[in-house]
Amino acid sequence: MDITHIIDTLNPEQRMAATSLDHNLLVLAGAGSGKTKTIVHRTAYLIITGQAHWHQILTVTFTNKAANELKSRVSRLLPNQQHAGTWTGTFHSICHKLLRIHAEEIGLPKNFQVIDTDDQLRIVKKIHKEMHLDEQQWPAKKSLNFINQMKEQGHRSFQCQDQSSAFYRTCGEVYASYEEHCSKNHLVDFAELILKTTEMLRDNEDIRWQYQTQFKHILIDEFQDTNKLQYTLISLLKHEQQRIVAVGDDDQSIYSWRGAIVDHMFSFEKDFSPVTTIRLEQNYRSTQNILNAANHIIQHNEKRLEKKLWTDSSSKEKIKLYAAYNETDEAQFVCDQIHELIRRGHTFEDCAILYRSNAQSRVFEEKLSQATIPYRVYGGLRFFERAEIKDIIAYLRLMANQQDNYAFERSINQPPRGIGRVTLDKIKHQAQLSAASFLDASQQCNISGKAAPALQLFYQLITDSIHQFGQLSLLIEHVIKETKMIAYLQAQKNHQTDAKVENLKELVSAAKHYDQYDSIQEALNEFLSHAVLDQNPKNEHAASQVQLMTLHSAKGLEFPNVFLTGLEDDLFPHKMTHADHKQIEEERRLCYVGITRAKQELYISYAETRRLYGQEMYQRPSRFIRELPQEELEYLRGNNAYTPKPKVKASYTFQLGQTVSHAKFGEGVVLNYEEDGDNSRVQVRFLNHGVKWLLCAYAKLNPV
């Protein structure tokens, strides 16, 4: 058996992580240190040496993208191996799989449906209404956050009811009611997938034993991102005969806001002892300049497991820093640079535009279209989150699970078919009386007028069509046709109409991946779960496109050329994080993640003014810019043609974006300048006195 190709390409530390079977392993893997490669090669090593079969290796990742990447790289490494039955996926998808297998044993309806955050919020809103809570004073989001946080810590509602404060008491009540709603409607939310699985393993010795012994090897990617519940889950699967490898990087911990606990990297050594710790510090991704910048910036954080990345590769291009006049100018700059990169032989997909928040993508999209640069936006409103898609999905959900009153409510009159509030109230009332689902109740009560035939057609559509079609895509086409959804969308004549109709077509073609299932019921369940758990449709057309995404979704990816945009105070670091030192550190790690995505060239930009949420903002450059090593930077402002406004005249020696101090107003940043002889004015944003125009002749500004 030849395993040289599996271990020879690894450095000593990677090799140890890939082949060591003595203890559990904690792998501290810096950015670009070959973390994925190590996991892939360990998997291949285990298989090829006969240490484990496919189904005996559990690999947990944080995104579906990462899971798919792992799967395809393993099969590339082991081209002749059948790898059916692998357990590679996100915590959520693995738990979903386990729950589907064991649903009946733990009293979960077999056809349970997974719901997303949006569906969750609808349920909570309804509960708030029932409880007569004032949405103004007590937003549903607040309760929802509470519920999800409790679940992520493993708490059920009965564990948070006898709290002293009114706030907790009410939250506990909402939580309890929420649990009831979910179980009545056979719905399971994201956190619930993991909580239920954890409880199942905790309470069922047989099942626990089965998986403890089945999973001889457990690999956990992005370990710094595990929350308490996920950590508990892994602990429950722990068994002496098995080896667990936790791979992570504390410097890339960017999800504490959703309950991730970095300290799990410390407790792992105790809880899973004996543990061997391996550090991967050699970076294979970036040039020296980029790495210097990354190391430099992350050192501003106090709390970290010291780790220093180094590289063999030499320094190349300096990091380009562009001070844009506004967000349009910034986007224009990015487009121009992309054209330049293309001219130098790069492809579009070599380029990534990263930003802090999704709202920033719009301007880039506009400019990229104008510049006829193909692009793809990740994140934002995902495919399966779009309203028209969710509308159709609601019909399918109701077909799969007739208990789902939320799906009923969404689909019953969307598109409108003349069934309004009065009818709906009747149905709800009847449902209450006979303890039936809305769908059943709709058949029990007396409906008159034009609502009656419409309701009958709706009922038939839901109950009959599933038996008429053998293939899921045909079923969905049928639903789209019967509901006249396309005509409805076209009647609205939005600028989005065409896109929405396209999306419906894409929905059908996404469903084709499930056409081979023997039973349509099963295909439907799988499809619906997939739609929620992996919001991207399986159809990926692989055209060469510039990639647009948030910094968060860029984690784990790499690109030859990276544009790190919008480095302005309040935007990045985000204003919500200013008050809290810990959160600023997390923003800094986010910045670190962004920088380390770049292999060859890194462009950093900020805008002096920015229109965001319909408002003009004047922010100073992000503190992260000041934290960069100045010797690695090349300032593009001043000798380029992007700035529509005149530059600050040399005699006053101020540059836009420069920090200056004023005798009365203190420190500020130069935002703008107007040349007008003796009346030349300079616009400065002061730290404590807002934005002011000052006459240069009198202002006596000093550079800082």
Partner DNA sequence: TCGAACGTTCTTTTT
Partner DNA sequence: GAACGTTCGA
Q: What gap in Å lies between CA 302 and CA 310, rounded to an integer? A: 20
Q: By CB under 7 A, tell whether 644 contacts DNA.
A: no
Cβ neighbours around 72 below 10 Å, total: 11
Q: What gap in Å lies between CA 172 and CA 192, rounded to an integer? A: 16
The single residue among 3, 101, 369, 416 that binds DNA, judged by CB under 7 A, is: 416
For DNA, the closer CB: 70 or 451: 451
Which residue matches tokens 């349009």? 328
Q: What angle do CA 667, 354, 548 make, to 5 degrees?
A: 145
For DNA, the closer CB: 257 or 310: 257
| Ranges of H-type helices in 493-580 | 497-511, 520-533, 551-554
Instruction: From 279-287, 549-557, 626-634, 658-666, give the range in contact with DNA by CB under 7 A.
Output: 549-557
Q: Is 382 known to be catalytic?
A: no
Phi, psi values for residue 29, rounded to 5°: -115, 110
Q: By CB under 7 A, tell whether 497 contacts DNA.
A: no
Q: By CB under 7 A, tell whether 264 contacts DNA.
A: no
For DNA, the closer CB: 343 or 421: 421
Q: Is 221 known to be catalytic?
A: yes
For DNA, the closer CB: 287 or 360: 360
Q: By CB under 7 A, tell whether 137 contacts DNA.
A: no
* DSSP string for 282-309: B--SS-HHHHHHHHHHHTT-SS------
Q: By CB under 7 A, tell whether 661 contacts DNA.
A: no
The single residue among 51, 212, 358, 545 that binds DNA, judged by CB under 7 A, is: 358
Instruction: From 50-58, 60-68, 602-610, 663-671, give the range in contact with DNA by CB under 7 A.
Output: 60-68
Among residues 119, 152, 192, 222, the one annotated as catalytic is 222
> In this structure, are strands 609-612 and 546-550 parallel, antiparallel, or unpaired?
unpaired
Q: By CB under 7 A, tell whether 430 contacts DNA.
A: no
Q: Is 35 known to be catalytic?
A: yes
- 354: nearest Cα among 372, 375, 324: 375
Rounded to the nearest whole angstrom, what is the least distance from the CB of residue 423 to DNA in the complex? 4
Instruction: From 231-239, 466-474, 574-582, 669-677, give the range in contact with DNA by CB under 7 A.
Output: 574-582
Per-residue contact flags (x/-) with DNA for residues 70 to 109, judged by CB under 7 A:
--------------------xxxx----------------
- 489: nearest Cα among 500, 505, 477: 500
Q: Is 588 known to be catalytic?
A: no
For DNA, the closer CB: 254 or 334: 254
Rounded to the nearest whole angstrom, what is the least distance from the CB of residue 357 to DNA in the complex? 4
Asked if residues 665 and 628 have their Cβ atoms less than 8 Å apart, the reply is no
Tokens representing 703? 């550079």
Q: What gap in Å lies between CA 196 and CA 209, rounded to an integer? A: 17
Instruction: From 231-239, 251-259, 291-299, 649-657, give the range in contact with DNA by CB under 7 A.
Output: 251-259
Among residues 189, 221, 350, 587, the one annotated as catalytic is 221
- 90: nearest Cα among 194, 182, 17: 194
Q: Specify the amino acid at residue 373.
A: I
| Ranges of H-type helices in 253-386 | 264-271, 288-298, 327-343, 361-370
Q: Is 390 known to be catalytic?
A: no
- 274: nearest Cα among 540, 63, 544, 25: 25
For DNA, the closer CB: 288 or 553: 553
Q: Is 136 known to be catalytic?
A: no
- Tell which positions 25-54 bind DNA, by CB under 7 A: none
Q: Who's near 17: CB < 8 A, 6+ residues apart? A: 25, 27, 38, 42, 245, 247, 278, 280
For DNA, the closer CB: 38 or 550: 550
Query: In the Cβ-directed half-sphere of 269, how many Cα atoms lie within 13 Å?
Result: 9
Q: By CB under 7 A, tell whether 658 contacts DNA.
A: no
Does the CA dihedral 189-193-195-200 come out positive or negative?
positive
Q: What gap in Å lies between CA 236 and CA 102, rounded to an integer? A: 17
| Ranges of H-type helices in 49-204 | 64-77, 91-102, 117-130, 140-152, 166-184, 190-203
Q: Please tell me whether 33 is known to bind a ligand.
A: yes
Among residues 14, 36, 120, 643, the one annotated as catalytic is 36
For DNA, the closer CB: 381 or 704: 381
Q: What gap in Å lies between CA 341 and CA 348, rounded to an integer? A: 9
Helix/strand/coil for 21: coil
The single residue among 535, 545, 659, 661 that binds DNA, judged by CB under 7 A, is: 535
Kindly determine how many residues on this chain lie close enough to bind DNA according to the rule CB under 7 A: 49
Helix/strand/coil for 219: strand
Among residues 500, 597, 620, 685, the one annotated as catalytic is 597
The single residue among 423, 430, 600, 655 that binds DNA, judged by CB under 7 A, is: 423
Q: By CB under 7 A, tell whether 223 contacts DNA.
A: no
Per-residue contact flags (x/-) with DNA for residues 586 to 625, judged by CB under 7 A:
-------------------------x-xxx----------
The single residue among 553, 578, 647, 662 that binds DNA, judged by CB under 7 A, is: 553
Q: By CB under 7 A, tell whether 127 contacts DNA.
A: no
Name the site residues for DNA (rule: CB under 7 A).
62-65, 90-93, 116-117, 125, 136, 139, 141, 190-191, 254, 257-258, 356-359, 362, 379, 381, 413, 416-423, 451, 533, 535, 549-550, 552-553, 574, 576-577, 611, 613-615
Binding-site residues, in ranges, read 29-36
Annotated catalytic residues are 35-36, 221-222, 252, 597
Binding-site entries for ATP: 29-36
